[in-house]
Amino acid sequence: MKITLVNLPVSIPTVMPYSLAMMKAVLEHETLEKATSLDLNAWYHYKKFNEFYERKKKEDYFSLLDEFVNKTRLSYQKLSKDSLLGNKLEMHDDLLREILATSPDVVAISFIYNSQAFFAKGIIDELIKRKIKVIIGGPGDFYRVKGEAIVLQDYSSLVKYLTEIGANAKKDNKSNKKIALDFSDFKKEEYFTKEIIYSIRTATSCPYKRCTFCTHHGNKPYSMMELSFVKESIIKNKMEKICFIDDCFTIPRLNELALMLEPLKVKWWCQLRATSGTVNILPKLKKAGLQSVAWGIESGSQRVLDFMEKGTTVSKTEQVLKKAKELGIINMVYIMFGLPTETKEELTETIAYLKRNKENIYLVSTSTFGLQQGSRIFSMPDVFGVKEIIQKERTMFGNKISYSPKSGLTQDEAETLKNRYKGEISHMNKVPKAINACKEQILNYC
């Protein structure tokens, strides 16, 4: 059985897709079948925007990355418009040809970004028409474009399905061969990066899972992978720079991770909550190669932090940022404006917080709260200050969700205020602005 794993356009191609590397590793560990990984997102950008790849050899990378991000986003807007109009997308036939060239019996498509839906419907329909089985899964919004594809949400379900339709399962997996992420099919020259940075996940879901606005954890149980798998993946792929894409870590897990990473001499980035436990462990993490952290600060108002059940305090987050800066760790901070019930005064508390701590912050990444299905606020609107939820059907994606708060700023008012402070926030940033779009690239800046 020939199995082809596919990552479709469109997203900024600065890192190899973890999902395909993991899928290939699991399939070849659990079955006797060989899988081919196609990162058609990287291939698409390499072909369409090749002039940028050529210029990268002789121009300042971060200035060019900013230009590249802006250029590609304009292109994505056209793809979105053409998709909604039902037009055949530019390079659709080329992408289909690349898939068919592998002579697949089964094509498994990983959906990470909603924008991958632009190409998905046409590709899926063409593959189904050719009697090729199509499987899709992932956190992206694909339900309006899946057609006759089979939806599977985890790797074990994929293995089970493939064995049911004829894939040869291994009878005994207790061999000495260790499982590790397999990035071998990807072409490094197709990634718009200064040096290759690998993405790794060490656990599924989130150990905290209390933030009222969040849906990243998918309401799934927190499950940690064996660190021997992470170590083997680093060694096998000769990784030097790593972005850990875990939603968060427990303190004991960070201790274990630091002990494992220190002898490997890698540089890494991760996302953390700024709690009292992190202050004490930061020196150990820095010694183990930690270069930068994206902190879920969210707000400078304690009332808002408590309302979103962040589990942090304003004073402790300030202490964490100060300690990290002293250790030479580059601090990025996530800030969210407009949580239901947030007032103008509380929003300005956050601006004051950023000004007060600007010497310890290298990048501020802001967003305006948007209500998402699956979040605790969506499930319990009365409890979390939402008066009315309005859902409007869309052609390609799930329903567009808007809301009205019981009190505080509306979404439009929060967005207006955020834009009012845009210039001040921008002046706080000390790293190239393109890193806001490609946060792992901080490892190429350090």
pLDDT average, residue stretch 166-181: 79
pLDDT tens sequence across 361-407:
999 999 999 999 999 999 999 999 999 999 999 888 889 999 999 99
What is the model's pTM?
0.94
Provide the percentage of residues in the chain whose pLDDT is more than 90.
95
For the chain, the average pLDDT equals 96
pLDDT average, residue stretch 12-32: 96
What pLDDT, on a 0 to 100 scale, did the predictor assign at position 176?
A: 56
What pLDDT, on a 0 to 100 scale, did the predictor assign at position 185?
A: 98
Structure tokens at 262: 């220190």
Structure tokens at 82: 């053409």
pLDDT tens sequence across 68-111:
999 999 999 999 999 999 999 999 999 999 999 999 999 999 99
Tell me the domains of the chain and their CATH numbers.
3-164 (3.40.50.280), 195-444 (3.80.30.20)
Alpha-carbon distance of 292 to 362, in angstroms, equals 10
**433 contacts 422 by C-beta, under 8 angstroms:** no
pLDDT tens sequence across 192-239:
999 999 999 999 999 999 999 999 888 889 999 999 999 999 999 999
Q: Is the pLDDT of residue 163 over 90?
A: yes
Neighbours of 309 (CB within 10 A): 15
Alpha-carbon distance of 154 to 138, in angstroms, equals 8
User: Of the given ranges (109-123, 143-157, 166-180), which has the lowest mean pLDDT?
Assistant: 166-180
Annotate the chain with three-state secondary structure.
CCEEEEECCCCCCCCCCHHHHHHHHHHHHHECCCEEEEEHHHHHHHHHCHHHHHHCCCCCHHHHHHHHHHHHHHHHHHHHHHHHHCCCCCCHHHHHHHHHCCCCCEEEEECCCHHHHHHHHHHHHHHHHCCCEEEEECCCCCCCCCCCCEECCCHHHHHHHHHHCCCCECCCCCCCCCCCCCCCCCCHHHCCCCCCCEEECCEECCCCCCCCCCCCCCCCCCEECCHHHHHHHHHHCCCCEEEECCCCCCHHHHHHHHHHHHHHCCEEEEEECCCHHHHHHHHHHHHCCEEEEEEEEECCCHHHHHHCCCCCCHHHHHHHHHHHHHHCCEEEEEEEECCCCCCHHHHHHHHHHHHHCHHHCCEEEEEECCCCCCCHHHHCCCCCCEEEEEEECCCCCCCEEEEEECCCCCHHHHHHHHHHCHHHHHHHCCCCHHHHCCHHHHHHCC
> Which residues are CB-contacts of 337 (< 8 A; sequence separation ≥ 6)?
347, 350, 366, 367, 368, 369, 414, 415, 417, 418
What pLDDT, on a 0 to 100 scale, did the predictor assign at position 175?
A: 53
Alpha-carbon distance of 436 to 440, in angstroms, equals 9
Alpha-carbon distance of 233 to 237, in angstroms, equals 6
**123 contacts 38 by C-beta, under 8 angstroms:** no
What pLDDT, on a 0 to 100 scale, did the predictor assign at position 174?
A: 56
- Band (pLDDT 50/70/90 cuts) for residue 173 is low
Alpha carbon distance, N-terminus to C-terminus of the chain: 45
**139 contacts 111 by C-beta, under 8 angstroms:** yes
